[in-house]
Chains A and B, each alone.
Chain A
Amino acid sequence: MKNGIPLFKYGASLLGIVFLSATIYAAEETAPGVKGMSEEEFAPTKEVLAVKYVQADKPYHMDVESLKDRFKDAKGVKVALQKQDKAFPNGGGSVSSAEVKAAHDGTTIYFQISWSDPTKNVRAIAVQEFRDAVALMFPLGAVEITPAEHFSPRMGDREKPVNLWHWKADWEADLVAKGELEDVEAQYPNMHDDFNTNPYSAYYHRDLITSVAVLSGGRAANNLLSQPGRGRTVEDLNAEGFGTLTTQDHQDVNGCSHYEEGTWTVIIYRSLITEDPHDVQFVPGGNSYFNMAVWNGEEKDRNGQKNISTQWHPITLERVAWQ
């Protein structure tokens, strides 16, 4: 026993060293250009986003005005945002917070995100211009996020995939443009154009027109960003850590937005359940987590240059009334 006490003391300090070194390790670079996360970031926030059940039919037009009633009684969660400072390139920091409300009607889940942005950037055709955007992120599968779990709130991790819903202001503009993609003329109205598609014109060149698809880079490679006629404003993606963001083959998410007096209000919606195994699934009465990021186009935010929340936020879905 006499010997036991110092051993215990020694053991405790050893344990302390182990924990300390783990913390130090986490703060250091874990991969080139990537700093480790602090322990606090692995713990979800205390505040829970309650997804209220609202009995309502789908409006004819899915716009912010028609969907307003769904969030009437929803209690919002204020999400603090900060600069992305872990993975190269770092950036963001111009948007400090956003408010998130959520509701579901038994078939579809709606998230309303609003944040203040004095500049509206809805086009990214000129090389120096970037769009406003917002994204929600959910852990894939049924997971319980605890500090011990180390489920990264920043783009997920290897073996810990996430599902992301990325709303883009320019996709909204594309939706209403001719051919469902804003053409370069939208940015440069009086530009010269060799592509006369009128076959009766003296300038019509058949070989040129038919080769367009082949030489359209991203479009020929089926990059969703390059495709006309996407029919949606939200991209459905997956990630397993920094730099792994990948567009899903099956797109299920959509959204709408409204910009007024320096505030963006964006509603992102999807059916509670989908058939895609890469999608997060929502069950009324169940729970999940979300995290989010906001991009300010005026500040040239894109990719990792964004305003992020550094913790997961729990979500609980209210049961459907008849359940």
Chain B
Amino acid sequence: MSGAVKILSGNTFVVSDDSGDIEASLTDPTGLFSFDTRFLSKWVLTIDGQRLNPLSVDDLQYFETRFFLVPGTGTVYIDAKLSVIRQRAVGDGFHEDLTILNHDDKPVDLEVRLEAACDFADLFEVKDDLKKKGEYYTSIDDGRLVLGYRRETYVRETWVSATEACAVDEGGLTFAVHVEPHEQWATELSVAIGRDVRGTAAERPEHERRGHKAGSDMALSLEKWLDEAPSLDCDWDPLKRTYRRSLVDLAALRFSPVMLPGHHLPAAGLPWFMTMFGRDSIFTSLQALPFASDLARTTLAALGLWQGARHDDFRDEDPGRILHEMRFGEMTAFEERPHSPYYGSVDATPLYVVLLDEYERWTGDAKLVRALERQARAALAWIDDYANLQGNGYIAYQRRNEKTGLENQCWKDSWDSISYRDGRLPGFPRATCELQGYAYDAKVRGARLARLVWKDPAYADRLDKEAADLKRRFNRDFWVEDGEYFAIALEPDGSQVDALASNNGHLLWSGIIDESKAKAVAGHLMSPAMYSGWGVRTLAEGQGRYNPIGYHVGAIWPFDNSFIAWGLRRYGFKEEAARIAAGILDAAELFEGRLPEAFGGYERALTKYPVQYPTSCSPQAWSTGAPLLFLRTMLGLEPIGEHLVVDPALPQGIGRLELLDIPGRWGRRDAFGRSRVAVGSPPRRDAQLGVIEPGATKA
């Protein structure tokens, strides 16, 4: 997708080439997508039969782009006397202002043509290269081109129209254009989601059919979003850029579920994952809590609404389980895929309780905690009643949907992510270590809420007791004596799956690790086998399956690192946490403020530049949230009672860091950080943070 231009609004997005054209093949994620369905797969502009050549692309906003074009392709401009501007904004479909300028002294007559077609592919089909089962139709209705697809009662349509007079045929629109010397001609093109699950566009209320008003409404909404977030000042400029990029991308990834119009939660990532994911929405909401707690509120409400209540093998659903993924495309509609929603995630359920508690600690919103008491109790009950698949009291996973369900139901969900030191793969059910940490944290936090908000001290005592018992057993059963770290998982027979992986950092975050073992764990995370200089690798160098560009077996995930840094701070390893923040923030600068999902685990000294993982999503919500969580850990922000405690520990290259108007139960508060490390010379502006200065000691 190099050269691809992406704009989006909610879960509607357009991916085109840099002249604004779309020519999608079935396996190619270009086109107009809405609710996981492609609504336009061909959109090609020609003038007198010629394609146009891009001069420049202006990304005006995440939902709006302007393309400057001239006729003719190739290296020599055939006619530079004309220029063409396409300005496109995404709303319910997209809207395009097409302007042709005649720079000549003579008038011109042109045939302007827009070819349009649609394959109505489900995103799953695009990913997996599958064939359609229904029938296509096209018609010309009231001057607009209708592209349609029908399979039984499933009907989807795209409506293409223009404000200027044109000839409409089944393949597109043709304009006979006359432009006087030094004059211009313009038309407004509309590509509307003509018919979807909400019915036809004509039946939809005006505000949903935003059309050309989308741009200004969304600009206002983005401005408000940025205004409400804390403001940041810092003597290391790249952080300011990364912070702003993160806020804007997070705004772009806000998504309104079809059944909860008007409410926003973070979708997982563009282009494959513009939908609700339990795990991703929860992690991103946690990262963003000090900046935009609304995301957490909506995530908790929406995930609570869809909480599992039944036994359903196809969807891997149990009572109390929090969903993994929701999809809206054709394959979900015909139950060929289980995503309506699919529940095959084992961490989202304990993390739901973790988020609820963390949300209350920041916001003081006890009302929501009361409203979601039943859901939180059901989630806590699920841990013991349905996830104890090994029968030993540990939370574990094994899919019941063998055909289309997920094999690995933890965040490291690729087939080879959980392994032994020597590379062997364990059996099922699998109890990965970080899950035990989440379960422990959920019980401790559930106990706090039970005592404080639900006024059920007996329940609180029980949860505390279970948590303490879990912690005791965990530190005995998962601890790899000869390596001094925690095994990545337990086999069904209770034996250790002994690979050294970044999951250890999540264990620090959850608080399940005995104080006496924390130093060894932190030492591993910062060792050359795990810390590359950019960040902590998902799997340590030297393990059997280690591969620096292996998705979960060596690549570095910014999101993972943000939680590892939080964990290090929790156990008092302030400088180690700052070093992790420094490496990832340096990488962010090199990615122009937008961290990818993952990048290569190569040694920093070797590559000088973080190598992006080949097929990763960008922007991706929990990567976007990572710099926000690093700000929290660098400043040491912690809500204690009604107060916000600030305890900064900054990387060496940042002399001053200010985060102003941090919202929370205290109203608004400012946090200031100054470099605690005495340095001989003032820090160089824009120097990289994580480079070890000559003579500096390496931890």
Partners in one complex: no
Point out residues on A near B: beta carbons under 8 Å.
Answer: none
